[in-house]
Structure 1
């Protein structure tokens, strides 16, 4: 396939204007109308040894229906943002887009300022537009040729341009902070999530777009995997999240990682990550020595993706990433999917014997299946749950709560 032959299927140049929220599509946050109570003060937070239950509201009411879950989901999201990642600005910015060949430029105006960024697009080698697309935070570390051969476009999102992650001193730098101020609570991961949401706004507004804005995935590895997970969790328009070796601040549980370290494992915990980079809000530092005071944990971040597609690619050779912690976190998140009747929509494949951010052959079939199901709409088996590690798992300690069968 030559680029020119493919590009001639649509206009080479297009300019569009969009005000977020004007399209009748899946909302960015389906629970936006649910009421929220103000967050507790840090001193009021109780110590919670186990992974916090997803199925009880802050006021003690049980979650009994899927409508309840929508509001409980918003409550969990608000807590994760307040205590760990910082606040994502709501939809409402004016978005302009400019598409030419393999480049999509998005201009966002809000808060009296404007910024723009450009995402590179790799076009598929098969199929016809409008194509589903996988958005790579930074870039995709998956088997990209296989994605293109499946008829899936790849969008390379310039995350470092939006929120700098070059070290702890880079906090508040990047185009997001030009709009919202260098002291905004959002960590770089939330700044990236906001940028992807504005990119989705732009795609959804393009008439006869070569990209199908209703069939989008997000992926990233390592530090960018943290951002991909936050992005997929905070925007319900993303149909599939493939999160690769994201570790602390990503798929791993803060509590389980701390227990692993206390048992002698060389694993990244809250006390180390808060000094490393910009991935978490500054307010999170107060939990560095007492993660048991967190009212939430990252199994709930994984659970915010439910019932949409979520595939975790883990590497058991990377002890620093908290392999056992990520596996337990995934098990707990699977209970949220089970409560929603969507247990087959979450998967994990955990295998060693390969370099960091390199997909081994043994994980490619899982990726292929999840892409087929959630981006291509095919009826395929996505029961993927495996690890090559020999864990001893104390499930009663970490997941003591009961999983309800949520009524429609």
Structure 2
């Protein structure tokens, strides 16, 4: 794909996402499927009890949660939503930048190639890390999974130039001047936190035929051309890649690997929720506008639904095949978003959204957090402690947090101040 066309494509995706979230009548159908933006049309629903065991008995103590109920819920999400992923026994690391001064000597930059397979010439991703230059010990860190390569996410000429995927199934050089997806890494560094980022396309390309180039295709069995109905979709693959990143972070003595916060937006918000739920080494998750398949309740059928997501013209490849079984009736699914949130307990989780992001259903995310609160309480932590949805710019920052900016899908610069406040509450930064 021509680099200029690629920029236009990314901007078009952003614009279309914004249109879907601007108002009640912005979108009436997606993929020929009606979209509901009317609260009066939300049908009554009953959520599965996250503290009810498969045998019907109630979880009343932490031991039963950890030993029995939590593993049950993990298996349900593997089978019915995200799919089972393989182990990571072939992963290795190549450090090619072991520590270089960056940002006017305010930070130390490290760059590591994560090699996902024994053949280190393919299936690999660069992990970019910054640490405060004045830190006196291991530092907490925000790990971002990005829609764009590292050299775009951070404005630093010392970052290795990567390639990115076009929708035509070809890798192309990063277009000159591209700034889509940029983050202010220095804001976190100045607050005493590390910052790291990885490009999701290096793990698995984000289009239906991307499986031919990504890590899932590598694990095909003989004569297999597509994952089985309970095997991993692209979201599980991206989450698997984040666990590979954590495998490296645990080896770096300059990083406090018990205080790594995951961050992702939209489909990558779904990704960090599943990564944090499945891999308990992650100490925190900050999920932005994760919507359907993430923090929003599927049974509400407001905004985007399972049927929209799993339509053959849209994002079916992001989930396991079994997910589509619940498109016509989400109430048949044994899981819903509140159970995904509950899997993060007792670790801190912040759900961030926008007031007009109706497509991602901000109220559905709030209600999901409310329904997950009993698990946080069982484990001695604070849920939202309210059933009244807060106004814009009024964050709830307990162990379970919720925050809406005024506006639509994604993040705005002011959101990062809230993220830092939440991180400081739970991870003491090294000053």
Counterpart of 2:248 (choices 202, 206, 222) is 202
Match of 2:142 among 134, 144, 157: 134
The verdict on how the C-alpha distance between 1:230 and 1:63 changes in structure 2, with shifts beyond 3 A counting, is: same
Aligned residues: 318
Alignment counterpart, residue 376 of structure 2, candidates 337, 351, 354: 337
Residue deviations 1:252-311 (CA, integer Å, cap 9, x gap):
01101x1x3xxxxxx111111102123211221111101110011011111111000101
Q: TM-score, normalised by structure 2?
A: 0.68
RMSD, matched Cα: 2.6
Pairs within 5 Å for 1:354-373: 355-359=408-412, 361=414, 363-373=415-425
Once the two structures are superposed, what CA deviation does each residue of 1:351-387 show, in whole Å capped at 9, x if it has no partner?
A: 323x5323353x4453222211333269xxxxxxxxx
Q: 1:173 to 1:49 in 2, by over 3 A?
A: farther
Cα deviations by residue, 1:20-65 (Å, 9 ceiling, x for unpaired): xxxxxxxxxxxxxxxxxxxxxxxxxxxx941110111111122121
Query: Which of 128, 150, 170 is residue 210 of structure 2 equivalent to?
Result: 170
- Give the aligned partner of residue 159 of structure 1: 200
Distance in 2, matches of 1:59 and 1:196, equals: 33
Secondary structure of the 1:58 match is: coil
CA distance in 2, matches of 1:370, 1:68: 29
Instruction: Provide the residue aligned with 2:338 in structure 1.
Output: 299
SS in 1 for 2:322: helix
Structure 2 distance, partners of 1:176, 1:325, is 31
Structure 1 residues 350 and 90, CA gap change in structure 2 (3 angstroms): same
1:75 equivalent in structure 2: 72
CA distance in 1, matches of 2:325, 2:187: 44
Give 1:97 deviation, angstroms: 4.0
Stretches of structure 1 lacking an aligned partner (at least 5 in a row): 1-47, 261-266, 379-408
1:105–1:244 Cα change, 3 Å? same
Look up the match of 1:226. Answer: 270
1:108 aligns with 2:116: yes
Query: What is the deviation of 1:165?
Result: 1.3
Name the counterpart of 1:375: 427
* 8 Å CA contact 1:299, 1:332 repeated in 2: yes
Separation in structure 2 between the aligned mates of residue 303 and residue 141 of structure 1, nearest angstrom? 31
Match of 2:358 in 1: 319
Quick one: which of 232, 241, 261 aligns to 1:217? Answer: 261
- Once the two structures are TM-superposed, the CA of residue 141 in structure 1 deviates from its matched residue by 7.2
Q: Note the C-alpha offset of 1:226.
A: 1.1
What's 1:95 paired with? 92
Please report how far the alpha carbon of residue 194 of structure 1 lies from its aligned counterpart in structure 2 after TM superposition: 1.0
The answer on whether the counterparts of 2:342 and 2:373 sit within 8 Å (CA) in structure 1 is: yes
Separation (CA, whole Å) in 2 of partners of 1:97 and 1:338: 42
Contact 2:191 2:429 in 1 (8 A): no
Distance in 2 of aligned mates of 1:351 and 1:116: 36
TM-score (normalizing by structure 1) = 0.71
